[in-house]
């Protein structure tokens, strides 16, 4: 097997409980975002654009959609002779069977996968965030600092710092302490969940940690503190640009809305840094006479006869005559009938909204974001009909 300088390991097994109905039948990285993408498109495209061609995707929770979505990885240019993208679910071994017990455990159980490529560095990514990042620059930094581990950080406000894993560093960005959700943060550098390790060092700590009685098999809780305790060289890599954890219904909605401003910080239209995705191959969207479409992002395959304002429409959505959709995210193939009102809602895939339905309209502009799913259905592709609700 050809040697690789870097192998990326993408943690995609999480459920994302706070996304409620959205992750009922799929893992969080497979959740839709931005009119055409799934969250995992971002780290995968970043890898592809950064020249990292070997990626292990660790799956566990509801992996069907993810597995079939990733396929052989050709959409991200990852169908390679050597390397490429590999889906790595937990598997049965001689010494017994168990699920991945934590982020570090997931990597530990795939030592053999990584060893095949005899890499110098291993990049740990998570499938939970929306951002564009050149990992190659981070690698240059990591090598320049001769770090054992480099953690990508983003500067947050002091108030926000209480919600993140915070890295305390000296002036040179050398890390001396890691605090998970500190009540009184000493710094505002939040970990983005992007770790770059020297592989031999990481391997040593994974082996050392796995049998530790108190371990929770987690990078943030176990591996990083252990390395700090043993005075390894850890550096923070300051990232600038758009980065968002879309872990809740509100933050997912917000991230979608962020795309609508004319000069959005997250430019998805950059030919030098394309975000690749599985293309649904739909015809150009049709905007009918009398339709009103403002401040929107609308994907191919849509037919709009009504009014859409400040919203994101995924592919194949229909908006009937006289309907008004505002401040909402409408996921693929949703059929919205006539004279429907939708305000501040996320409507999930394949829903049918009947004529005259009112969803969330007439509420304050800061009211809760409604998530409309059909709880009776188990298969995400099944057509669901939504009775006329007034909320």
Residues that bind other proteins (CB under 8 A): 34-36, 259-260, 262, 268-269, 274-277, 279, 281-291, 293-300, 303, 312-315
Q: Which is nearer to other proteins, 275 or 353 (CB)?
A: 275
172 phi and psi angles, rounded to 5 deg: -85, 5
Copy the structure tokens of residue 65: 């959609």
Closest contact distance (angstroms) between CB of 373 and other proteins is 22
Residues 6+ apart with CB under 8 A from 267: 132
Strand partners, 32: 38
Query: CB of residue 296 vs other proteins: minimum separation in angstroms?
Result: 4
CB of 295 to other proteins, least distance (A): 5
| CB closer to other proteins, 239 vs 276 | 276
- Phi and psi, residue 329, nearest 5°: -120, 120
Residues 6+ away with beta carbon under 8 Å from 164: 156, 181, 190, 191
Return d(Cα 59, Cα 88) in angstroms, integer.
Answer: 6
List phi, psi (to 5°) of 324: -130, 120
Which of 279, 381 has the CB closer to other proteins? Answer: 279
Q: Which of 226/352 has CB closer to other proteins?
A: 352
The nearer residue to other proteins, 53 or 307, going by C-beta atoms, is 307
Nearer to other proteins, 235 or 315 (CB): 315
Kindly tell me which of 48 and 60 has the beta carbon lying closer to other proteins: 48
Q: How many CB atoms lie within 10 A of CB 132?
A: 18
Residue in this structure with the two tokens 């929306």, named with its chain if needed:
130
Minimum Å gap between C-beta 331 and other proteins is 13
In whole angstroms, the minimum distance from the beta carbon of 137 to other proteins comes to 22
Residue closer to other proteins (CB basis): 34 or 193? 34
Q: How far is the CB of 167 from other proteins (least distance, A)?
A: 33
CA distance 381 to 378: 9
Residue nearer to other proteins on the CB measure, 209 or 311: 311
In whole angstroms, give the CA distance from residue 153 to residue 171. 14
CB within 8 A of 302, min separation 6: which ones? Answer: 285, 286, 313, 315, 316, 317, 318, 319
Minimum Å distance from CB 298 to other proteins?
Answer: 5
Q: Distance (Å, rounded) from C-alpha 133 to C-alpha 243? A: 9
In whole angstroms, the minimum distance from the beta carbon of 323 to other proteins comes to 16
What DSSP state is assigned to residue 80? -
Q: What is the DSSP secondary structure assignment for residue 108, as one 8-state letter?
A: H
Q: Going by C-beta distance under 8 Å and a sequence separation of 6 or more, which residues neighbour residue 23?
A: 15, 16, 17, 31, 61, 62
Task: Tell me how far, at minimum, the Cβ of 335 lies from other proteins, in Å.
Answer: 13
Longest dimension (CA), the chain: 68
180, β-bridge pairs:
165
């Amino acid at each position: 097997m050809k040697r690789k300088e870097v192998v990326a390991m993408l943690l995609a097994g999480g459920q994302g409980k706070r996304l409620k109905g959205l992750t009922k039948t799929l893992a969080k990285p497979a959740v839709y975002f931005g009119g055409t993408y799934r969250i995992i498109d971002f780290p995968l495209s970043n890898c592809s654009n950064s020249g990292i061609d070997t990626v292990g995707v660790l799956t566990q929770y509801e992996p069907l959609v993810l597995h079939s979505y990733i396929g052989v990885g050709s959409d991200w240019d990852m169908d390679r002779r050597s390397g490429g993208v590999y889906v790595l679910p937990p598997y049965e071994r001689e010494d017994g069977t168990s699920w991945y017990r934590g982020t570090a455990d997931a990597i530990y159980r795939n030592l053999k996968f990584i060893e095949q490529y005899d890499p110098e560095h291993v990049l740990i990514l998570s499938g939970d965030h929306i951002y564009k990042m050149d990992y190659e620059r981070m690698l240059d930094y990591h090598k320049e600092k001769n770090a054992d581990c480099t953690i990508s950080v983003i500067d947050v406000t002091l108030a926000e710092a209480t919600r993140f894993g915070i890295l305390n560093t000296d002036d040179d960005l050398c890390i001396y302490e890691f605090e998970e959700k500190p009540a009184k943060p000493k710094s505002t550098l939040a970990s983005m969940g992007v770790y770059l390790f020297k592989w031999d060092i990481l391997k040593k700590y994974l082996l050392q940690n796995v049998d530790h009685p108190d371990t929770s098999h987690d990078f943030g809780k176990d591996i990083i503190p252990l390395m700090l305790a043993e005075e390894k060289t850890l550096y923070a890599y300051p990232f600038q640009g758009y980065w968002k954890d879309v872990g809740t219904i509100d933050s997912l909605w917000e991230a979608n809305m962020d795309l609508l401003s004319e000069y959005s910080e997250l430019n998805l239209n950059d030919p030098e840094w394309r975000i690749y995705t599985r293309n649904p191959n739909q015809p150009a969207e049709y905007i009918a006479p009398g339709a009103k479409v403002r401040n929107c992002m609308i994907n191919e395959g849509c037919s709009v006869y009504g009014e859409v304002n400040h919203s994101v429409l995924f592919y194949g959505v229909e908006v009937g005559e006289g309907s008004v959709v505002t401040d909402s995210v409408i996921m693929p193939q949703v059929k919205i009938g006539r004279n429907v009102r939708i305000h501040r809602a996320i409507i999930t895939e394949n829903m049918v909204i009947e004529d005259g339905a009112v969803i969330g309209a007439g509420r304050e502009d800061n009211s809760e974001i409604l998530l409309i799913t059909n709880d009776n259905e188990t298969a995400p592709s099944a057509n669901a009909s939504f009775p006329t609700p007034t909320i």
